């Protein structure tokens, strides 16, 4: 029977590392620090950890359990529960497919930055010179070298989503490379994936530790970390905080894509998934917190204070020694009082080096990873080394998640008779090729707008829906009693009261609440808008 | 006679001082960032350094504005600050009350910028002439952009890896089919030898035939 010839992980560690590698992705690095800062610093940990135990952990364990029991992909699993539920599995596959299409472009960008780090001067450290050789390129001067490098040289972004153009060759090549590597990692299914995850799961930690050590020695690191962790408990009264915590935990764990079910389906029947679920969830949250410490340490005040200090020195002709990075902001206040007219002249050039304001300027997502971080890197000595380390880490995080995504598509496909006859290599190759060709659309000038659209809407609300139906299906349609018996069969003991209460009541209820909030948000939000990069104007504008 | 010369000198220097003032029409502001450039090795700015500046600038004027022999006294400095910034104007060697046009000064500085920088161990960024942009270096242009090289290397390795993996799996599959063919041939011979006796089903290899 096919079940006996189903490929397996070499050992439970591979499965654990695969889950870790999949769950810990770019969101841990670029979304969590932003949320933390937005919702009251250290205080955000309270709703975050609460949601972890109320919703994240139970749902994670549920998906692993059902996958290990059914030993099929998401489509097969839910069809086995009830033929009419096959749609839930299909929805998972579709969402995974969307994710596969647009996620690898991030890896392409990481490759682009990685390759461009092998130069004596990092290309995003300075503005390129215009054709007349009179000064830096105007677009670059108006924004900043890092922004210019990202929006112009990497993306070659157009002014709106309607304006298109040809494919950016560099991007297309990097995307090709990303897909070729993905294929290499999954070509033999679990056998190849299992070996790769040893590296993709562990290397990011190695880099994060190095960065942490580097970060805490940077000027302003202590301030950054202190600011981040000072709890502002008033934020807890805001319902958005709780909703954001719930959604962050949810998306961070990668529930609903079918990848976890797929990974678990390759387990030994008696694998202790309960313990592994707890381990992975805790590791995931721990990494988010750790990554945000690093981010805040690195980012800190440095650049803004440097610029302010220089401005003060030059306008008021004060000796260089007198104003240091520590005293710069005190001097601002003093000079404002003693020379108000002269100060007023430069007031508009002076940036308020307020960490809150700095971080308010949309420092999440690709903006944080590719613009802010790369700017921080240019300020470090030996910036090429730091750049290579950092973008390699981003690649490991992204590739690890891609493995899960692509497995979430391929494993359910193999549930269908038609595809199961194909060899592993051929099916994986076809899927990778298909996703690559469609993904080329993201490397066009308007690609980043499409990417934002996919990122914000492609796999957010639908996932909540899917997981809600998953939990109802397993707990009520498949039956709690049957699942308890299965768990006893597999692991050796029945689930205790915590699991039962969460699965039966709390998690579905929480999901329902979050779904309602989303729907209300959509209705109240009106027509969605996006930020566009206007070449000739000031940095970014809203466009409907 | 000495009194007259002294008087003339006094008037001249007074005039020169009047010529040099902040925001002078043909003057430039200079800003040095010694600590930024040299850190602990920074020298202190004093009259001797100023003398060097004046002489370097006179050298620059001489090199650029051929025919005119500029002296140190033609470089008039004023408004020194702690920042280490000051204004200067250049007076014409023939007529000390007349200022040299700023575009001539600018050209002179541009031409000898590197020499001026070197005299002070500074760079274009740390020795600023406010209003005179440094001639920017030609951007380094590569025949093959460096990223393409790294990309090519990585792509080559990955593709090689894939080919190796695919080839090994094809070879393995061929070997398996050859082995199962041989096993089937063995099975047949074994069955044939049992033609004499009764064929006992319980001893035959059934796994291949029945599906669990």
Question: In A339-459, which residue ranges form alpha helices assigned H by DSSP?
Answer: 340-346, 355-360, 366, 373-378, 383-415, 417-420, 424-439, 447-453
Q: How far is B1 from chain A (nearest CA, A)?
A: 43
More confident residue, A473 or B65: A473
Q: What is the mean pLDDT of residues B50-70?
A: 89
Strands A540-543 and B75-78: unpaired
Mean pLDDT on B78-92: 86
Minimal Cα distance from A184: which residue of B? B162
Q: Which residues of B touch A114 (CB under 8 A)?
A: 150
Query: Best residue in B80, B147, B150, B164 to probe A by mutation, most A CBs within 10 Å?
Result: B147
Question: Across A368-382, B180-194, B198-212, which has the greatest mean pLDDT?
Answer: A368-382
Q: Is the CB of residue A135 less than 8 Å away from at least one CB of chain B? A: yes
The pLDDT tens digits for B157-184 are 999 999 998 898 889 889 988 888 887 7
Annotated binding site of A for Na(+): 23, 28, 252, 284, 397, 401
> pTM of the prediction?
0.80
Q: Is the pLDDT of residue A415 over 70?
A: yes
Which of B36, B135, B148 comes nearest A320 by C-beta?
B36
A279/A274 Cα distance (integer angstroms): 9
Contact B210/A at CB under 8 A: no
Residue of A nearest to B209 (CA): A1
Contact with chain B for residue A111, Cβ under 8 A: yes
Angle between helices A86-116 and A424-439 (to 10 degrees): 70
CATH number listed for the domain at residues B7-130: 3.30.70
What's the gap in Å between the CA of B80 and the closest CA on chain A? Answer: 9
pLDDT of residue A118 exceeding 70:
yes
* CB A75 within 8 Å of CB A86: yes
Contact between chains at B166 and A425 (C-beta distance less than 8 A)? yes
Domains present along chain A, CATH in parentheses? 15-297+370-525 (1.10.4160)
Residues 50-109 of chain B whose Cβ lies under 8 A from any Cβ of chain A = 81-85
Q: Which residue has the higher pLDDT, B200 or A294?
A: A294
| Domain boundaries along the sequence of chain B | 7-130, 140-212
CB contact residues (below 8 A), chain A span 292-321, against chain B: 313-314, 316-321
Q: What secondary structure letter does DSSP report for B137?
A: P
Among candidates B127, B140, B145, which has minimal Cα distance to A129? B140
State chain A's mean pLDDT as an integer: 85
B61-B64-B68-B69 Cα dihedral, nearest 10 degrees: 50
Q: Are A383 and A122 in contact (CB under 8 A)?
A: yes
């Amino acid at each position: 029977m096919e079940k006996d010839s189903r490929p397996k992980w070499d050992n439970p560690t591979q499965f654990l590392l695969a889950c870790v590698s999949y769950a810990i992705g770019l969101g841990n690095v670029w979304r969590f620090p932003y949320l933390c800062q937005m919702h009251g610093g250290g205080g955000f940990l309270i709703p975050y950890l609460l949601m972890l135990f109320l919703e994240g952990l139970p749902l994670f364990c549920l998906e692993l359990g059902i996958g290990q029991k059914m030993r099929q992909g998401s489509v097969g699993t839910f069809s086995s529960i009830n033929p009419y539920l096959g749609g839930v599995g299909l929805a998972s596959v579709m969402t995974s497919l969307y994710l596969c299409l647009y996620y690898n472009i991030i890896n392409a960008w990481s490759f682009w930055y990685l390759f461009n780090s092998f130069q004596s001067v990092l290309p995003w450290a300075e503005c390129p010179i215009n054709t007349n050789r009179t000064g830096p390129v105007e677009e670059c001067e108006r924004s900043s070298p890092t922004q210019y490098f990202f929006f112009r040289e990497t993306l070659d972004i157009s002014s709106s989503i309607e304006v298109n153009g040809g494919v950016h060759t560099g991007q297309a090549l990097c995307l090709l490379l990303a897909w070729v590597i993905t294929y290499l990692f999954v070509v033999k299914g679990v056998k190849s994936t299992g070996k790769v995850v040893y590296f993709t799961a562990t290397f990011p930690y190695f880099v994060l530790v190095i960065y942490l050590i580097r970060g805490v020695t940077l000027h302003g690191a202590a301030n950054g970390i202190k600011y981040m962790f000072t709890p502002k408990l008033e934020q807890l009264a805001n319902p958005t905080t709780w909703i954001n915590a719930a959604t962050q935990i949810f998306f961070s764990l990668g529930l609903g894509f079918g990848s976890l079910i797929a990974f678990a389906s390759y387990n030994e029947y008696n694998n202790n998934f309960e313990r592994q679920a707890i381990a992975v969830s805790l590791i995931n949250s721990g990494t988010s917190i750790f990554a945000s410490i690093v981010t805040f340490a690195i980012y800190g005040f440095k650049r803004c204070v440097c610029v302010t200090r220089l401005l003060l020195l030059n306008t008021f002709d004060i000796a260089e020694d007198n104003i240091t990075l520590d005293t710069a902001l005190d001097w601002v206040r003093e000079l404002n009082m003693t020379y108000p007219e002269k100060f007023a002249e430069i007031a508009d050039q002076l940036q308020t080096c307020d960490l809150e304001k700095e971080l308010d300027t949309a420092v999440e997502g690709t903006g944080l990873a590719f613009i802010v971080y790369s700017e921080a890197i240019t300020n470090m000595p030996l910036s090429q080394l730091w750049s290579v380390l950092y973008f390699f880490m981003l690649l490991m995080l992204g590739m690890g998640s891609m493995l899960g995504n692509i497995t979430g598509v391929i494993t359910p496909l193999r549930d269908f008779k038609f595809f199961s006859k194909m060899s592993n290599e051929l099916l994986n190759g076809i899927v990778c090729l298909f996703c690559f060709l469609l993904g080329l659309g993201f490397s066009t000038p308007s690609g980043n707008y499409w990417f934002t659209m996919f990122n914000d809407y492609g796999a957010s609300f639908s996932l909540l829906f899917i997981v809600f139906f998953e939990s109802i299906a397993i707990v009520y349609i498949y039956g709690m009693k049957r699942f308890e018996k299965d768990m006893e069969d597999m692991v050796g003991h029945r689930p205790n009261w915590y699991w039962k209460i969460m699965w039966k009541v709390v998690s579905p209820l929480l999901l329902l609440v979050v779904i309602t909030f989303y729907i209300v948000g959509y209705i109240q939000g009106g027509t969605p808008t996006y930020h566009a990069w206007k070449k000739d104007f000031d940095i970014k504008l809203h466009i409907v | 006679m000495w009194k007259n010369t002294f008087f003339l000198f006094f008037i001249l220097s007074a005039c020169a001082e009047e010529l040099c003032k902040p925001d002078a029409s043909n003057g430039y502001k200079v800003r040095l960032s010694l600590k930024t450039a040299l850190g602990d090795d920074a020298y202190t700015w004093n009259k001797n350094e100023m003398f060097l500046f004046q002489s370097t600038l006179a050298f620059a004027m001489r090199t650029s504005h051929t025919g005119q022999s500029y002296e140190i006294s033609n470089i008039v400095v004023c408004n020194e600050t702690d920042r280490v910034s000051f204004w200067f104007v250049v007076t014409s060697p023939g007529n000390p009350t007349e200022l040299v046009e700023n575009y001539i000064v600018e050209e002179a500085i541009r031409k000898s910028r590197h020499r001026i920088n070197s005299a002070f161990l500074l760079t274009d960024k740390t020795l600023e002439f406010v209003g005179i942009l440094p001639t920017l270096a030609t951007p380094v242009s590569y025949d093959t952009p460096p990223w393409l090289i790294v990309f090519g290397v990585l792509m080559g390795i990955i593709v090689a890896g894939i080919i190796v993996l695919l080839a090994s799996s094809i070879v393995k599959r061929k070997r398996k089919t050859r082995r199962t063919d041989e096993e089937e041939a063995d099975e047949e011979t074994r069955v044939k030898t049992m033609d004499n006796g009764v064929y006992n089903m319980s001893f035959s290899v059934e796994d291949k035939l029945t599906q669990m």
